[in-house]
Structure 1
Amino acid sequence: MIASKIHAIWSRELKLEEFSDTDDFFSLGGHSLIMTRIQREILTELGIEVPMDQLFRKSTVAEIAEHIETALSAA
C-alpha cells in the first residue's frame, strides 16, 4: 500500500505513467526540486516526514517504501 502511494506521487511529480518501483529516481529524470515536491507530498498523503538525505540515498520507490515501513513499525 505504501509503495503504491509513493509510486503515484512519483508518477505525478515526474510526469511519467510507466516505470518500475526499482527504477532510479535520477535515471527517470528526477532532480532536487522534484524531490522537494515528493517529500512534501509524502508528508501530506502519508503523514510521515522522510528526511531529504534519505530520499536521495534511497532513490527508488521500493527503497523509500521500505524506509517508511521500517520507521512506522519502530514507532
Structure 2
Amino acid sequence: MRPMTDPEIRGIISDGIIAGTDSTANTISFIVYYLAHYPDVKKKMLNEIDRIFQDDKTRPITENDIHNLKRLSMAN
C-alpha cells in the first residue's frame, strides 16, 4: 500500500462535495417540479405552513413544528 498522492486526495474530496450537493440539488428540483405540476398539493402545503407559523414566518423551526407538518411527513 502506497500513500495517496495530493491529486488523489483532492479528487476524493471533490467527489464527496459534488456528490453531496448534486443529491440536494436534484431533490430540490424534484420538489419544485412536483409542486408546479400539482397546485392543489402546493396550496395544502402552504395552508399548513400558514396554520403552524401564523404571522411569524421568520421564527426558527422547532421539533414540535416538524411533528405538526403532516405534509412534510408524507414525503418520507
Judging by fraction of residues, say which structure has more helix.
2
State whether TM-score is above 0.5. Answer: no
TM-score interval (norm. to shorter): 0.3 to 0.5
The structure, 1 or 2, with the larger RCO (C-alpha pairs under 8 Å, 6+ apart) is 1
TM-score normalised by the chain length of structure 1: 0.36
